[in-house]
Amino acid sequence: MRVTLDIKQKCPFFWLRGIRRARIDKCCAKCFIGEVYHEVYDGTRFKEKAHVDLGLPPDNSIKAYYLCGLSRGFKYEDNIHVAFVPCAGQNIEIANDRIRLVITDARQIDFQSYKPNPAGEYTDEQRTCRNWIFANYLLDGMPL
């Protein structure tokens, strides 16, 4: 797999995790236990424009990958959340006025509408931590 990320507008940062295990007693990046790809965070942190090109070697101990990007102005609803797994021959592409993301040989996991039950500490009527939702998704054995 290869992750290619272009930042078109200044943003606080992006981060990428290779998830081996998940936990639901924390929120945000702390939900995920596994590989941290510092190249993504270091390459995007408070940059006006940025380009990150990262090859991800095969690793059978990683259940899924999670890319998160904080938006300019820290607007929760504008943050980027992409969960994915290796899948030869498929690509994920996201392009808008803020980013262009291409992940080759990967398939995106559609978890955004998943409703953990019970809701838990990191949910409220306004928003729910999407990282925490994906941690629940994994722990509940949902399909990858």
Average pLDDT over the chain reads 90
Q: Distance between CA 95 and CA 79 in Å, rounded? A: 14
CA distances from 68 to 11, 89, 123 (A): 12, 23, 18
CA proximity to 2, closest of 57, 51, 69, 50: 57
For the segment 28-41, what is each residue's pLDDT rounded down to a tens digit? 889 999 999 999 99
Strand partners, 34: 19
Strand partners, 64: 19
Is residue 16 scored above 90 in pLDDT? yes
Q: What is the pLDDT of residue 26?
A: 86
Q: Rounded to the nearest 5°, which phi and psi values hold at 121? A: -70, -30
For the segment 119-137, what is each residue's pLDDT rounded down to a tens digit? 677 666 556 788 889 999 9
Is residue 99 scored above 80 in pLDDT? yes
Q: What is the pLDDT of residue 126?
A: 54
